Structure 1
Amino acid sequence: MSDDDGDLDEAVTQFLAGADSVYEDYERGYTDADAALHVLESHLQELREAHEES
Structure 2
Amino acid sequence: MSDDGDDLDAAVAQFLSGADTVYEDYERGYTDADAALHVLESHLDDLREAYENE
Per the shorter chain, which TM-score range? over 0.9
Determine the structure 1 residue equivalent to 2:35. Answer: 35
Q: Matches of residues 11-50 of structure 1 in structure 2 within 5 Å?
A: 11-50=11-50
Structure 2 unaligned residues grouped into runs of 5+: none
Structure 1 unaligned residues grouped into runs of 5+: none
When the two structures are superposed, what TM-score results if normalisation uses the length of structure 1? 0.99
When the two structures are superposed, what TM-score results if normalisation uses the length of structure 2? 0.99
- For these two proteins, the number of residue pairs brought into alignment is 54
The letter for the 2-side match of 1:34 is D
The letter for the 2-side match of 1:40 is L
Quote the sequence identity (%).
Answer: 80
- Cα RMSD of the aligned pairs, angstroms, is 0.2
State how far apart, in whole Å, the 2-side matches of 1:39 and 1:8 are: 20
